[in-house]
Structure 1
């Protein structure tokens, strides 16, 4: 785990992350010593230390010279959560305050093509981008979520959204690939994930008796082609997962087609999960 990168992803600058980690290692030190330990230039270190103190990650001890002390790991984690929520609230309030004006400005700039139809699909990379899209779809679900997966290894990353969907009465069906098509690791992962799901959700789960040509999630489909969203990845054994793209669609006809595929496998080519 590259902790410096994680701290940067959570909102600290590179110099702030280096300085905080240096102080965590030494406990308490003068600015000049922190500069030497962290590699942050002396011309920058005083400002960085003051920033960290203002953010609540370290304490500044008055004196000549002043000394700095890192807070405990528990306090740092607590402050990271608090600062993240604070920043999220600040940005959300900004959007709410300028929403009307921003909409009108964007509307005045927007030049649609003469003929504009709903895109059949758009493409996102597999990994964090596709997981972000999946979480958003689960949050938007009103009636139904159908999931097709091998072992549902990414469940912990979408757990909160699925739990909330289940709590608001969304019907959840999960179709997993049969154990005969999995390696030992996949079987173990699937066993652990299904156990977790049973403790979290009111969801039906089945195992397919055939290899699944695509995987993904279907949201609020309808056979009258009026509603539905989906995200899916086509199985391609020759391409590593991290090099694949996921397709996202809000085209009700395409979603209905994927739903029919799901229903056929669910009804005729799968067995209840024991």
Structure 2
């Protein structure tokens, strides 16, 4: 039974060899069959079919039924892919955590840890990246928001809260009536709404910050003009952190 190249590529990602792919697809069309029948259907040589089918069994793609002769039942694709998806995600998460640890450990050692970030998409990615690294606190000033940002922000703030991160967030009063701000206000964080400049500020653990500016037209940000300054200079971050706290405590803010 022919399948398209994308499906074959997906099976390769799951760790199957060419012969294993041929045998699995053949078993799929037969549902339950002997090694000889699968060999004929798949064109896998009979001298190799038992090795291939045993490998597929170990990988969870077929089930071996004892008898004379042995029979091989195909495992339904939804079961195979669900297990494989979970395994791949687990491996990726472990790799991400380890590499992030190395990355975070090395950034402060860079002689001049200040970078310019152009464009709204890259700034949003950096904002979410910083939030994901937080261990103790996140302070946010959302004087501007880009398209589709609010829900992404809400989801990632919620993840941080679940890790025990303390969050303070200041939003521009122009967002006061938006549903997403009402949703964010339901999270376990400190939140205030006021008139703010059209800037975005994220401070993580008093160690790292991103401040983003962009041109404004008719009270709306122009995403292509967004320019972010990302840095980890402790003295500078602590100074901005102090300014943030001052803004937070002034009477100009309203709940």
- Same fold, TM exceeding 0.5? yes
SS at match of 1:217: strand
Aligned-partner Cα distance in 1 for 2:53–2:158: 37
- Give the TM-score normalised by structure 1: 0.53
Q: Which residue of 1 aligns with 2:85?
A: 80
Residue from 229, 240, 243 that aligns with 2:208: 229
Aligned-partner Cα distance in 2 for 1:52–1:189: 47
Bigger radius of gyration among the two: 2
Q: Which residue of 2 aligns with 1:59?
A: 62
In structure 1, the gaps of 5 or more residues are 1-6, 21-27, 35-41, 100-111, 222-227
Q: Which residue of 2 aligns with 1:190?
A: 181
Residue from 114, 123, 128 that aligns with 1:126: 123
Residue from 164, 168, 174 that aligns with 1:173: 168
Aligned-partner Cα distance in 2 for 1:233–1:129: 11
- Give the TM-score normalised by structure 2: 0.56
Q: Which residue of 1 aligns with 2:141?
A: 148
Residue from 252, 265, 273 that aligns with 2:234: 252
Q: Which residue of 2 aligns with 1:68?
A: 74
Contact 1:215 1:233 in 2 (8 A): yes
Matches within 5 A, 1:259-274: 259-268=241-250, 269-272=252-255
Contact 2:130 2:204 in 1 (8 A): no
In structure 2, the gaps of 5 or more residues are 1-5, 17-23, 31-41, 103-108
Aligned-partner Cα distance in 2 for 1:90–1:252: 28
**Count of matched residue pairs:** 203
Aligned-partner Cα distance in 2 for 1:208–1:66: 67
Aligned-partner Cα distance in 2 for 1:129–1:51: 43
Over aligned residue pairs, what C-alpha RMSD do you find?
4.9
Aligned-partner Cα distance in 2 for 1:188–1:255: 32
